Structure 1
Amino acid sequence: MSEGASRHRVAVLVRDGLLPMELGLVHQLFGQAADADGEALYELVTCALVPGPVRTDADFPILVDHGPQALADADTVIIPASHEFDATETEGRLPEPLADALGRIRPGTRIASICTGAFVLAAAGMLDGRRATTHWKSAEDFRRLYPAVRLDPDVLYTDEGDVLTSAGEAAGIDLCLHMIRSDHGAAIANDVARSTVVPPHRDGGQAQFIKTPVPEPESSSTGSARAWALKNIHLQLNLSDLASRESMSTRTFTRRFREEVGISPGQWLIQQRIERARQLLEDTDMPVEQVTENAGFGTTASLRQHFQSALGVSPSAYRNTFRGTSVVEDGEAELQGAGT
């Protein structure tokens, strides 16, 4: 850092119900960022609506010395989540003390949220008309309360310039590294990631962490066909196969299926095949060719195409994440080498 240059000031606004990990990761990552001379690039300060003890979702509080006045001098403000719901998550409005605190932020200050901290930004009107994300479990409530926001629940973070949002707790790491990379380049961000023993960039988005994307209706006239299809998912099933299980024409079956499940039989089959492949990649060492066969995709190219489209990652990257192996199966290596 050149002589006389001031460090970028990051203020973290915490509230009762804080998740300690979210506060810690901000301090750890920004605190590790240094220039070639080893000089810290950021100055960090934690503040609360009222100085003093702040409850966490763990069995200990944290003591915060600074009040909301610290926000007035910040270059970046970060708002973590709270597990104690307030009006931002229940009524779609900003509580007065929180509104007063945010009112201290200077125009042009970069503002970011971690996890459901996005509800605070949305309640303040900062996300209207903009793309944003939050934890996938809270996506439905977020859409209901803040329809003016272009919610994307599948990504790890969003960057709208002066306003950024991230998904669940660990996605805050991705967001902080992204901000460091934007401020000081990839080399410094990579050094921070290496020092913290985290990847500098993660593939895919939240979709790969959602266990069951398609709920089954409790009772229906197409349920027997779905149960049969799940037992025979390794076969090359078609619409006629499913309709015949319910003694219906394909047209009637398709109409009733859409009414009961919300998507077409073909879309449902693909999603169930992806779920089967996910389970096999997570729980077994089965080669990708055998996963392809057991999930009924026909070819490894088809498996990889549908996996990438639905989850944003390849089957091998998914296995690396959830099974902790760095092995790339031969079939997928051939696909990657062929540029498919």
Structure 2
Amino acid sequence: MRNSIGLILYPAFQVLSLGVSTVFEFANKNAGETVYDVTLLSAGGGAVPSSLGFGVDTEAFSERVFDTVIVVGDNIAAPATEGVVDYLRCAARTSRRIAATCTGAFVLAEAGLLDGRRATTHWFFARTLQRDYPAIRVEEDRIFIVDGPIWTSAGMSAGIDLALALVEKDLGSDIARTVARQLVVYHRRAGGQSQFSALLELDAKSDRVQTALVYAKNNLKAELSVEELAGAANLSPRQFSRVFREETGQSPGKAVERLRVEAARLMMESGKHPIDLIARDTGFGDRERMRRAFLRAFGQPPQAIKRTASAAHS
């Protein structure tokens, strides 16, 4: 099986977008053959300047048919040129898949390819995409979304997750997992996973508090008392509580609840786990305690989020 991939670039494209091509490169290495043939494309061909100013050589659009066409993003969601829009409309009729990373979703939207579909983009631009293109069902808190033959991803690094998902679809999970390990990235974040991370939002400043948070995330089934977390941070419980609140703006107990809610929501969105099992595995202990935490975090109970996730997978 050989898959031709056309990667569309345009002036001021974001440099990190090129990272998706590395996923296909390593998939070829692990498959022992050229499964993916990647071609860089642009409307006029030749050198296309990146967001950093250096140029990348491309081929001009032609009548060549690609199995998968991917349009990359930029830093400002600039309007697409007529040539790119026309090319994508043609490609949608001949290619098996059309994908966009980050603000590339705006380009697909201009071409009308997202009308009536679910899509995502970088969280910073998601509401603008929804406002400008109301026919799209924009889900701003997603890593990537697959709606029929159309794939869209969040910010630039999420393009790696999208590319790994493409490889998994084509070659299976074993090769995708191996590629992820070789690139030293997590295999792969589920499409439904949040763009936001509780660990990042807590924004711990010191290594000790960060160590305690990582310990908590990796041991959610444990009690995770202040004493236990303080021990992980090599601080007394009193010192730990004071430093933790100074750095994160909240108590250790509240932070642990956020980590548990995040883990529980991911389990709901990525599988068919029973509510009681999720409550146990994420340390809530029982579904009622988890329900109260979800109402505080999301304003809706776990069952509502689970139903939404099930509908998205159907």
TM-score, length basis structure 2: 0.66
Instruction: Report the equivalent of 1:215.
Output: none
Deviation digits for residues 160-195 of structure 1, max 9, x if unmatched? 130000000100000000010011110111121122
* Paired-residue identity, %: 31
Q: Structure 1 regions of 5+ residues with no counterpart?
A: 89-94, 212-274, 314-331
Task: Note closer, same or farther for the CA distance 1:195–1:335 as it changes in structure 2 (3 Å cut).
Answer: same
Q: Structure 2 counterpart of 1:206, which letter?
A: Q
Q: 1:279 to 1:51 in 2, by over 3 A?
A: closer
The residue number in structure 1 matching 2:47 is 53
Mapped partners of 2:182, 2:89: distance in 1: 36
Specify the alignment match of 1:76 in structure 2. 68
* Aligned residue runs from structure 1 range 163-312, under 5 A: 163-202=150-189, 204-208=193-197, 278-280=202-204, 284=209, 285-286=211-212, 288=216, 289-290=225-226, 295-296=250-251, 302-308=257-263, 312=266
Tell me by how many angstroms 1:61 deviates: 1.5
Instruction: Decide whether aligned partners of structure 1 residues 302 and 190 sit closer, same or farther in structure 2, where only a CA change above 3 A counts.
Output: closer
How far apart in 1 are the matches of 2:255 and 2:123? 29
Instruction: State the secondary structure of the residue aligned to 1:144.
Output: helix
Quote the Cα distance in structure 1 between the aligned partners of 2:27 and 2:197. 29
Shift of 1:140: 2.0
| 1:19 counterpart residue number | 14
Q: 1:82 to 1:39 in 2, by over 3 A?
A: same
Matches within 5 A, 1:123-142: 123-142=110-129
Any conservation in 2 of the 1:34–1:188 contact (CA below 8 Å)? no
Aligned partners of 1:83 and 1:300: how far apart in 2?
Answer: 32
- Residue 31 of structure 2 contacts residue 175 of structure 2 at CA under 8 Å; is this kept in 1? no
Match of 1:111 in 2: 98
Which residue among 35, 38, 52 is the counterpart of 2:32? 38
Which residue in the other structure is 2:138 paired with? 151
Determine the C-alpha separation between the residues in 2 that align with 1:282 and 1:141.
Answer: 36
Letter in 2 for 1:118: A
1:309-338 Cα distance to aligned partner (Å, 9 max, x none) = 68x59xxxxxxxxxxxxxxxxxx9993999
Contact 2:260 2:282 in 1 (8 A): no
Instruction: Work out the CA distance in 1 between the residues paired with 2:107 and 2:21.
Output: 21
> Offset at 1:97?
1.6
CA distance in 1, matches of 2:198, 2:261: 16
Contact 2:198/2:262 (<8 A) preserved: no
Distance 1:59 1:99 in 2: 24
For structure 2, which runs of at least 5 residues remain unmatched after alignment?
217-224, 231-240, 268-279, 291-314
2:5 aligned partner: 10
Q: Is 1:28 the counterpart of 2:22 in the alignment? A: yes
Is the alpha carbon distance of 1:180 and 1:305 closer, same or farther for their aligned partners in structure 2, counting shifts above 3 Å? same
Aligned length: 242
Post-superposition Cα deviations, 1:115-159, rounded to whole Å, max 9, x if no partner, equal 000001111111112111000111121111011111111111001
Structure 1 residue 14 displacement after superposition: 0.5
**Quick one: distance in 1 between partners of 2:21 and 2:255?**
43
- Cα distance between partner residues in 1 of 2:23 and 2:185: 10
> In terms of Rg, which structure is larger?
1
Measured in 2, the distance between the counterparts of 1:121 and 1:196 equals 28
Change (3 A) 1:300 1:86: closer
Give the whole-Å Cα distance in 2 for the aligned partners of 1:209 and 1:303: 7
Question: Aligned pair in 2 of structure 1 residues 49, 300: CA closer, same or farther (>3 Å)?
Answer: closer
Deviations 1:225-262, CA, capped at 9 Å, x for gaps = xxxxxxxxxxxxxxxxxxxxxxxxxxxxxxxxxxxxxx
1:335 correspondence with 2:283? yes
- Kindly provide the CA deviation profile for residues 178-222 of structure 1, in whole angstroms up to 9, marking residues without a partner as x: 0100111101111211222222123632122897xxxxxxxxxxx
The SS at the match of 1:147 is: coil
When normalised by structure 1's length, the TM-score is 0.62
